[in-house]
Structure 1
Amino acid sequence: MHKPPSATIPLHPITDTNGLEGRKIHVRLTEGRFQHLRRLISWPLLAAFFGLVWMQTNGTSWLLFDFPERRILLFGAHFSWYDLHILTGLMITAASLLFFVSMIWGRVWCGFACPQTIWTWIFIRIEHWTEGRAALRQRQEKMPLSGARLARRLLKHTLWLAVALITAVTFTGYFMPIRDLVTQLANANAPATLVGWLVCMTLLTYINTGLVREKICLHACPYSRFQAVMMDDQSLKVSYDSERGEPRGSMKLRNSVQQTKAAVGDCVDCNICVQVCPTGIDIRDGLQAACIDCAACIDACDQVMLKTQRPTGLIRFAAAQEQPQPQRFWRPRLLGYFAVTLIAFSSTGYALVNKKDLVVEIRRDRASLYREFSDGLLCNFYQIKADSFDPGLTQINVSVSGPEGLVLQGPETFLLDNSGEWTAYRVCLTDPAAGVLPITFNFSDQSRIWSRSSSLITSTSYQQR
């Protein structure tokens, strides 16, 4: 059994010497069980991001935020802007689940599934492939940029820009059909606004994950600032066991103190944990806002411990006050997060089952509440607009019910093209009774009926009002 980390974790201010400011960080690649796990999570997410935008069923995209048609397509379901509460519920559910997971395992979302982290590792891999390993890049940093080194540097930035452009095009494909987008770009007839948007998105991706990647997690991401609020002393976080590792000693010092039998900790002060950190921090200084819990330092340190024939786990996921596993999950705030997540999930599921497939708006003509004609008819004037959010619902039949003798004048069939245009209708009645008469507009297809209540204002009722 490993000893738990000290309940009092040392905290040190982040300065330029910690590597977060003032110098470029050259990240050393490492392997290990957590890096394999990270790839098992990130590669399916990448495949979903780049592949989902191309998926269609009967010409309908699986996921598309269709602003011109005022709808959202999600795996065959069509959502209107009247269903925004469902999207809000989905975001609340996701946020609650993030809080719940963070309280147990810390910032595992940041380290294993966050898009910023996933793209950062892609760019680091490209950098390693084009310019060599981290130690070589660091040695060459102050050398003149010429010859083969210049060619490798240009190749790196070219590949970075290519990945950023593909990312920007794919992201834009979730807001307009990707096939139309690619066709416009291939034929060089894309609108200037679209080209400008793609340029901005490409540059943002290139800068965020290529040039200032380690600073985004510390300075731009709000999650790093309020993560401590969601965690407690039983939350698992990447931690350095200072009781076991201190005082540090290199292998040379370790061999010399064996003669004097001086106490030396298990940390051999190799600094590999710092070299593999994508944000450039030293986890041995204690918990820091820039730590994203990617566990690269755990894998690197475990390899050193195995080589020096020491127990692994000098750096590991650990709580400040470790408790038996059953007690860790029975904490009031954790149960509160779970309850909120469950309620949000249930409410969103209920809203999904009962979402609207047809949205109808009826607007009375206020300029002329009623009109009497020579044939004895009294008519009210209406404007009707209907939007379909069911791919199988392309047209509806319109009728009206109410007092005997009620007549509807206007198109009997309503085409649902979601154009947002209003259609004029008249509802007429011969010899109407006094008062405001209730009427019902009925909209139907072959198997369903939707009804909307309204009223018919007669001349007599209008004079009384």
Structure 2
Amino acid sequence: MALTIEIDHAKTRARAAAAVGRPVVPQSVKGPIRRIKWGVLLLTLSIYYVTPFIRWHRGPNAPDQAVLLDFANGRLYAFFVEIWPQDLYLLTGLMVLSASILVLANALAGRLWCGFACPQTVWTDLFLLVERLIEGDRRQRLKNIGAPLTPKRTAQIAAKHAAWLLISFATGGTLIFYFTDAPGLLRSFASGDVSFNALTWIVVFAATTYGLAGFARDQVCTFMCPWPRLQGAIWDPEAYTVNYRDYRGEQRMSAKKAAAVRFEGKPAGDCVDCGQCVTVCPIGIDIREGPNFACINCGLCVDACDGVMKKLGRPRGLIDYESWNNIERARRSERPVNRLVRPKTIGLTAACVAMAAAIAIGLETKATATLSVQHDRDPVAVRLSDGSLRNAYTLKLLNKSAGSHIYSLTVSGFDAKLVIVGGRSESSILVGPETSATLRVTLTANADGQGEVVFTAQDETGAALSVMDRFLDR
């Protein structure tokens, strides 16, 4: 059976709400999934706000902040990981791995990331919590829309936006902490000695948080984020997503009418058309209309529906995390099949493990120093007055460690004499911590010919760096 993920009713609902000037106002709900979401919210916010203040000892001359994006010096620090511009391939690998894990999660449980841990979802939940505490739940907030302003209502609006702004500035300020020494910047805030550049970025990030979590909300998840647009290409009917068991819920009718119909021996659906699944949805969609690209798989409609079923004395799970193929199997009176482990998920898991292993090996074997060489091109070779040939090179030694090293420079592979330009009588080079040294060298051969030359720089510990180039005669 071919299935098209529905988007029209999401757009229709959004247009209808916009036509009357009414935003999506979700109702609060209680249940196990909501409790999990609260737990994820507390965990993610704690990680976000606390991480910049975690210390990590890296030795002398190195920052002690565990996570630091030091763009000014071209360094990215994350606990024991240190990324230099030359190591951006590792960062690229981490991004590819993250995308692969996201695709794997989608193959297992749809937009699970979107519904539980996405920053837009987390901060929107936090803003909604503040809104409910100050203005009341959905019914009261709907009454407030378009109602005349009273002193009480004005105070509520002012308190809500003040709380939102406080959260937004805390969010923007914390984000800045990831780019500089957090305790130092915090002391600058306390003393009022903050740079204009830092204040500008805090205002930008605070305004972004305030606008997206306070006002855009469902529009971000439905229209601004690219991830739902990919669902048509990567949606998997075997993934455990939020679905409505229509074979059990239809035909919809009130509980009283359903009891009368069943008394007559006729079938009646469990769905009483209470609309609770719609009122609690943060996106404002009706999951009973079928799979929807806008559904973030948060499961709040599951809690709402289970609560209604419990009150009516009916089995839970009318709306539940279930694969679409199992919905179709149940329509045919077949047993459900759990296919979380299948070739697609096995392949994605293997790919993720392989990439993680490759990145781990790359981090473990990442060099703490590099040597590069560039052959002079104009001219390539110079004939000296005594008939010998000379080639010139520019060598660059980069020391990425936190301590100084003394490197001894040698050349092999071709019979030529090495001379460091600048009057140096010895071939030892001192390179300070996290710095580089550039030097020009010449190779002089008494006889014509050309071949491979190997430059080697060895430090006092015996660790050696080698790079190959060519000695040319013309």
TM bracket, shorter-chain basis:
0.7 to 0.9
d(CA) in 1 for partners of 2:220 and 2:277? 20
- Say whether residues 1:34 and 2:48 are aligned partners: no
Alignment of 1:142-291 (within 5 A): 142-251=146-255, 253-254=257-258, 263-291=267-295
Residue of structure 2 equivalent to 1:450? 465
- Say whether residues 1:385 and 2:396 are aligned partners: yes
- Say whether residues 1:434 and 2:452 are aligned partners: no
Q: Match for 2:139 among 120, 135, 138? A: 135
The 1:139/1:236 distance shift into structure 2, 3 A limit, reads same
d(CA) in 1 for partners of 2:407 and 2:276? 72
The 1:445/1:306 distance shift into structure 2, 3 A limit, reads farther
TM-score (norm 2): 0.83
Name the SS for the 1:446 alignment partner: coil
* % identity of equivalent residues: 29
Residue of structure 2 equivalent to 1:412? 428
Residue of structure 2 equivalent to 1:74? 78
Asked whether the equivalents of residues 399 and 431 of structure 2 are also in contact (C-alpha less than 8 Å), the reply is no
Asked whether the equivalents of residues 60 and 76 of structure 1 are also in contact (C-alpha less than 8 Å), the reply is no
Q: Match for 1:337 among 334, 348, 358? A: 348
For residue 14 of structure 1, what is the amino acid of its counterpart?
A
For residue 283 of structure 1, what is the amino acid of its counterpart?
I
d(CA) in 1 for partners of 2:352 and 2:273? 43
Name the SS for the 1:86 alignment partner: helix
Q: Match for 1:395 among 396, 400, 405? A: 405
d(CA) in 1 for partners of 2:124 and 2:4? 28
Deviation for aligned residue 1:97:
1.9
Alignment of 1:280-319 (within 5 A): 280-319=284-323
The CA RMSD measured in Å over matched residues stands at: 3.4
The 1:142/1:40 distance shift into structure 2, 3 A limit, reads same
Residue of structure 1 equivalent to 2:359? 348
The 1:61/1:136 distance shift into structure 2, 3 A limit, reads same
Q: Which runs of 5+ in 2 are unaligned?
A: 58-62, 330-334
Name the SS for the 2:9 alignment partner: coil
Residue of structure 2 equivalent to 1:3? none
Deviates further, 263-272 or 105-114: 263-272
Name the SS for the 2:248 alignment partner: helix
Deviation for aligned residue 1:435:
3.5
d(CA) in 2 for partners of 1:46 and 1:255? 47
Name the SS for the 1:328 alignment partner: coil
Name the SS for the 1:206 alignment partner: helix
Residue of structure 2 equivalent to 1:328? 339
Deviation for aligned residue 1:315:
0.4
For residue 28 of structure 2, what is the amino acid of its counterpart?
L
Deviation for aligned residue 1:15:
4.6
For residue 117 of structure 2, what is the amino acid of its counterpart?
A
Residue of structure 2 equivalent to 1:424? 439
The 1:360/1:146 distance shift into structure 2, 3 A limit, reads farther
Name the SS for the 1:175 alignment partner: coil
Number of residue pairs the alignment of both structures matches: 451
The 1:15/1:82 distance shift into structure 2, 3 A limit, reads closer
d(CA) in 2 for partners of 1:273 and 1:132? 19
Deviation for aligned residue 1:371:
8.0
Asked whether the equivalents of residues 362 and 383 of structure 1 are also in contact (C-alpha less than 8 Å), the reply is yes
Deviation for aligned residue 1:257:
5.8
Deviation for aligned residue 1:419:
5.2
